[in-house]
Amino acid sequence: MAQTLRQPGRLRAAWGALRAVPSAVKAMATKSASISDATGSADVFGVDLDGVSVTPRTAMQLSAVWACVRLISETIATLPIGMHERVGAGRRYAPQHPLHGVLHDIPNPDATAAVFWESMVAAMLLRGAGRAEKLLYNGRVVGLEFLAPERLWPNRRQGQRVLDWRYTEDTGLQRVIPAERVWTVPGFSLDGKSGVSAIRYGSVVFGNAMSAEKFATRTFTGGRLQSLFYTIKEWLKQPQRDEFHKNIGERIRMGQAPLLEGGIEAKSLGINPDDAQLLESRGFSVEEICRWFRVPPFMVGHSEKSTSWGTGIEQQTIGFLTYTLRPWLTRIEQSVAKDLLTPAERLRFYPKFSVEGLLRGDSAGRAAFYTAMVNNGVLTRDEVRELEDREPMGGNAAVLTVQSAMTTLDGLGQQSDANAARAALRGFLGVNDPEPTKD
């Protein structure tokens, strides 16, 4: 004991370690981990898996992951979602439903609908599920509040079923939320219940990409990708070589052109095969990450190869909507109907995303769409004006119209009522139809 007291340095180090324990425990309390969850344990304890820590937060540092997640989540967040109603043999927009304003405008006092859906879809992409707390009033859903995945974990379980959740607020306070008040929208599922995390299943791909980024950073920092070398006619001693490397290296780092004298020549050197393979592997990592998120590489700025999704912007947009966005939109729509509507409401109301919102920045595409819908009697001109945020005109603008030259196949060659009346009148007056002229 006396020997220990004579070493104040060790005492200070031990005291500093003890003081760091509460902050470390507090930081761990905001995260969830399980013995069977290697990725979650690595996130909590800061352990690297095979030298690279693959978590949703670290994966988002990859530009390809960042771009894919932003592309999908922001696109879905900007698509209008609202309630619709089944009436008789048709359907109509139902903005009067209480849930419409929650989904379409303001889910809670602290967030807009766009911000809320961005967070939900990003959690579905990275974590396998997005969760929000139902804000209830008299048993009805009047709001939704996003629950950050890194601060939410199961509190009590009954087998695989979660009875309640523990959530850490921004202030650091924790509270328990009953499971029936937590709305879960799962992503792609393998068991029919829970969504799977692309980051966890693709940890090898994302880990390799992160390793390539780290190695490339060290490579560029260390100056391995040199494209010049210098020749000197005379042999130099070691101090002279050191001085030459120091002067040349400092000038290159400062962006200055080195001064060559005394018979020194600079020659060009092509990129070596190892460095070329490094650059190629980084490009391949982008394509691999895009496969995991089902995003065409050209939509995240990787344009080395042409896309097979069509040649025009319209065809590419249709492909992106069909193969990438549509599954996510369907999951959200069905989850809203299942968990946020009562059984009686589900018979009458249903949520729906308006994918026509993708045409908002394409005036030519909108014009062609409206023309086809009006000419075929699907929309009135006033309904088109409403979609364009313009006041209705009333009168004939509220009437469905079609092209007058159009008729049924059975009606071809038959006289119309107007032509029959005209022929009867000409016959009564004794006026003969003019003979057709012959050439």
Whole-angstrom distance, CA of residue 309 vs CA of residue 284: 19
Q: Which helix (H) or strand (E) holds 219?
A: helix 203-222
Please name every residue paired with 184 in a beta bridge, in sequence order, or none if there are none: 131
| 152-158 sheet: strands from edge to edge | 152-158, 161-168, 174-178
Q: In degrees rounded to 5, what are phi and psi of residue 349?
A: -115, 155
Give the pLDDT of residue 236: 75
pLDDT of residue 213: 72
Helix%, strand%, coil% for the chain, nearest 5: 50, 15, 30
Which string of DSSP letters, residue by residue, matches 51-80? TB---HHHHTTSHHHHHHHHHHHHHHHTS-
DSSP one-letter string for 369-434: HHHHHHHBTSS-HHHHHHHTT-----GGGGS--B-TT---GGGTTPPPHHHHHHHHHHHHHTPPPP
The separation between CA 210 and the C-alpha centre of its own chain, rounded to angstroms, equals 20
Per-residue pLDDT of the chain (439 residues; tens, 9 = 90+): 444 444 455 555 555 555 554 554 454 445 544 433 444 444 443 434 445 788 899 899 888 999 999 999 999 999 999 999 998 878 888 999 999 999 999 999 999 999 999 999 999 999 999 999 999 999 899 999 999 999 999 999 888 889 999 999 999 999 999 999 999 999 999 998 899 999 989 888 888 888 777 766 665 555 554 556 677 777 778 887 787 777 776 766 666 666 666 677 766 655 454 444 555 556 678 888 988 999 988 888 776 655 555 555 667 777 888 889 999 999 999 999 999 999 999 999 999 998 877 766 667 778 888 888 888 888 888 888 887 778 888 888 888 887 766 655 565 556 566 666 666 666 666 666 665 555 5
Give me 176's structure tokens: 């328990």
Opening angle at CA 282, ends 278 and 284, nearest 5? 115
Give the pLDDT confidence score for residue 98 in this predicted structure.
94
pLDDT of 209 = 83
Output the CA–CA distances (angstroms, integers) from residue 4 to 13, 15, 16, 123, 340, in the order listed: 13, 14, 16, 51, 64
Name the residue type at position 311: T
Q: Burial level of 353, CB count in 10 A (0-12/13-18/19+)? A: buried
Exposure string (b/e) for 396-433, b if CB count within 10 Å is 16 or more? eeeeeeeeeeeeeeeeeeeeeeeeeeeeeeeeeeeeee
Q: Which two tokens stand for residue 141?
A: 């859903």
Q: What is the DSSP letter of 5?
A: H
Other CB atoms within a 10 A radius of the CB of residue 219 amount to 16
Q: Is the pTM of this model over 0.85?
A: no
Strand, helix or coil for residue 115: helix
Query: 221 by DSSP, 3-state: which?
Result: helix
What Rg value do the Cα atoms of the chain yield, rounded?
A: 34
Instruction: Determine the Cα–Cα distance for residues 147 and 383; give it in Å rounded to an integer.
Output: 38
The token pair that represents 421 in the structure block: 């009346």
CA–CA separation, 380 and 221 (whole Å) = 63
Burial of 89 by CB count in 10 Å (0-12 exposed, 13-18 middle, 19+ buried)?
A: exposed
- The pLDDT of residue 218: 61
Q: How much is the pLDDT for 279?
A: 52
